[in-house]
Chain A
Amino acid sequence: MPAISPDTVVSPLPNARKKHQSVWQLAVRRFMKNKLAVVGLITLFLIVLISVAAPFIATYDPNKPDIYNIDGEPDDQHLLGTDDVGRDVFARLLYGGRISLLVGLVSSIMIVLIGGFLGAIAGYYGKWIDSLIMRMVDILLVLPTLLLMLFVVTIMQKTTIWSLIAVFGLTSWPVTARLVRGEVLSIREREYVLSAKAIGCSDLRIIMKHVLPNVLPTIIVNATLLMATMILAESGLSYLGFGVAPEITPTWGNMLHAASNVTVLTDQPWLWIPPGLMVVLTVLSINFIGDGLRDAFDIKSTRR
């Protein structure tokens, strides 16, 4: 270690930035060594790719019924057959991925924004703000999230993609808020925050520059795992018939809803097994990625 020269004392910034970068580089290197995580990343990339490229892969319109070809079995025209109004199941599977992934991505971002914001101000300001937010968390956590979602969805007359995302965001933020609050509480007491305060930094600047970068790894891991949970939630609610209506747009969840019909369940497995497997595959790869990120950032694991 070199002796401290006046130079380093005057300009600690370049040094700090270098170190800051290396934390992330270290994380990337550790992540890349984790085989399951890399496999998960590649699989998820492929799933996103075929969903985005759906118009180029699918040869049929996913929403166009063909009354002359209802309940068709899989053949070389319709790879996965047709459903009860004659829509091509393969095309619906590809397009359905778009919605399921979109719902998962947008709602997990929304949850992280709401939960992160509330958790950060609760942890940073403490006092009555903290008590108020944490009581809200306690109350929302009493009911299982799926039941809470179900209750809120009932009061809506028609579920659309965006109302579904809103419901997910409004019901699922408490766990994230609690997580972020805990992190912020411990960061708030560190010396660098104290010195930032001493030289007169505003609260906003301290939160943005000193607190947030340190909470980011936790938030990233949480957001990843939330995306998996939200895709599961979409499929569950849609299976019960409370998700986005199949006429509006196909999702993996509302395709699975077909299996609530016993004839479909027993005689037409090609209608419901493929979307189910896509959900499993997507959630599995996201979970692998999330676990890899957690190890890479060296965050203590919690019960899951």
Chain B
Amino acid sequence: MGKYILRRLLGMIPVLFIISVLLFSLVQAVPGDAFTQQLNPHVDHKYIEEMREKFGLDKSPIEQYFIWLKNFMQGEFGISFKNKLPVSELISDRVGNTVFLAVITLIITYLLAIPIGIYSANRPYTLMDNTITTFSFIGLSLPTFFGALLAIYIFSFNLEWFPSSGTMTAGAGYTGFRLLLDKLHHVILPATTLAVLSVASYTRYIRSSVLEAKRQDYVRTAYAKGLPRKVVMRKHVLRNALMPLITFFGLDLGSLFAGAVLTETVFTWPGLGRLIFESTVNRDYPVMMACYMIIAISILLGNLIADILYSKADPRVRYD
């Protein structure tokens, strides 16, 4: 197992290297640079030249790439073009918010999707099941940001139940438990809109997975030897049907940092997704490069965790 993990970790290096080259060349393909837009008669030409020199933009692209790579490996993500702050500072300010939002979203997803999926599978093709299926389809077809806009329109502006933006009440100075409540109050709306999509897809997955497990021979055998329905469900059906969820958990873990560009933008939630949006608008390439690389790393690690968890949960799967 240790060998397997090591091999997978080493395998990530070339992938990350190619991704970084790819992203870097895309940036280089843009005519001009971050300071071209500032070129106008009111700005001293010398100043622009100085700034270019300061950010190393006067060097050749290949040289620039290796300087970037060397710094990145040392945890130096560079300086933001836009607000001249270290990129690592910008990112560490945001990561917590994104993770908080993602964790609450995951909790909502599991709390809703598992019971609904099982309920649906136990009464296939009834009115309730068909209703659930139809709603899952609507959930899958709803653009997340449109859901977010509707949620703000209905629950923030008309009903005034939840705040429409931010992570906490500014200037309220809450501490301890009160602060936690305030944060939860702010996170509920974005987390719920984000969860709509995942609840819909999880529900559909769990439903078909449970339905399939119920058709297996070992389930019939379990009934035949006289086990009560509850025991059969818990020990034979659910155990097998819900096993793949462990894999999804790993994958979800990996995409935690990918954030939700659209949802975070709609709710002006200061997370990584919003940072990506802002840096994209401003063509702030050091920030973009760092964010995308962090996301790539977390997704690769998430895939690895998914595979490890699955082999732990299912003794039939072995890696060596």
A residues neighboring B (CB under 8 Å):
36, 138-139, 142-144, 146-147, 150-152, 154-155, 157, 228, 232, 235-236, 239-242, 256, 259-260, 265-266, 269, 272-273, 276, 279-280, 283-284, 287-288, 291, 301, 303-304
Contacts and interface: CB of A to CB of B under 8 A. Distances in A.
A304 B205 CA distance: 8
Nearest to B254: A142
B22 A269 contact: no
Contact of B145 (A144, A150, A239, A266): A239
Contacts of A144: 255, 258, 295, 299
A147 B146 contact: no
Contact of B15 (A138, A240, A265, A272): A138
Contact of B280 (A36, A154, A280): A154
A80 B123 CA distance: 43
Nearest to A302: B205
Contacts of A232: 143
Contacts of B295: 143-144, 147
B317 interface: no
A284 B141 contact: yes
A139 B22 CA distance: 10
A235 B145 CA distance: 9
Interface string B302-320: 0000000000000000000
B144 to A, nearest CB: 8
B261 A240 contact: yes
Main DSSP-derived SS at the B contact region:
helix
Interface of B: 15, 18-19, 22-23, 26-27, 29-31, 134, 137-138, 140-146, 149-150, 152-153, 157, 201, 204-205, 208, 248, 255, 258, 261-262, 265-266, 276-277, 280-281, 283, 288, 292, 295-296, 299-300
A147 B261 contact: yes
Most chain B CB inside 10 Å of its own CB: which residue of A142, A152, A272, A287: A142
A256 B283 CA distance: 23
A154 B283 contact: yes
B26 A152 contact: yes
A280 B261 contact: no
B259 to A, nearest CB: 9
B19 A150 contact: no
Given A157-B31, A280-B138, A283-B141, A151 B149 contact: no
16 contacts: A142-B296, A143-B296, A144-B255, A146-B262, A147-B261, A150-B261, A150-B276, A154-B280, A154-B283, A236-B143, A239-B143, A240-B277, A259-B149, A265-B152, A283-B141, A284-B138
B143 A280 contact: yes
B141 A235 contact: no
Contact of B262 (A236, A265, A273): A236
Contact of B201 (A240, A242, A273, A304): A304
Contacts of B150: 273, 276
A228 B258 CA distance: 22
Given A266-B157, A303-B205, A304-B204, A287 B141 contact: yes
Contacts of B296: 142-143
Contacts of A235: 143, 145-146
A228 B277 CA distance: 24
Nearest to B277: A240
A269 B26 CA distance: 38
A301 B244 CA distance: 14
B29 A155 contact: yes
Given A239-B262, A266-B153, A139 B292 contact: no
B292 A147 contact: yes
A151 B26 contact: yes
A111 B204 CA distance: 26
Contact of A228 (B31, B141, B281): B141
A154 B281 CA distance: 8
Contact of B149 (A154, A265, A284): A265
Contacts of B261: 146-147, 150, 240
A36 B134 contact: yes
Given A155-B27, A242-B280, A273-B150, 17 more contacts: A36-B134, A139-B18, A143-B296, A144-B255, A144-B295, A144-B299, A146-B262, A151-B288, A151-B292, A154-B30, A154-B283, A235-B146, A265-B157, A266-B153, A279-B146, A280-B143, A304-B204
Most chain A CB inside 10 Å of its own CB: which residue of B26, B205, B265, B280: B280
Most chain A CB inside 10 Å of its own CB: which residue of B18, B145, B266: B145
Contacts of A236: 143-145, 262
B136 to A, nearest CB: 10
Contacts of A284: 137-138, 141
* In the A-B complex, the 3 residue pairs with the closest CB atoms: A284-B141, A283-B141, A276-B146
Nearest to B299: A142
B280 A143 contact: no
B19 A256 contact: no
A301 B201 contact: no
B262 A143 contact: no
A138 B146 CA distance: 31
A152 B18 CA distance: 16
Nearest to A272: B149
Contacts of B137: 36, 284, 287-288, 291
Most chain B CB inside 10 Å of its own CB: which residue of A138, A144, A150, A235: A144
A280 B141 contact: yes
Nearest to A225: B140
A113 B258 CA distance: 29
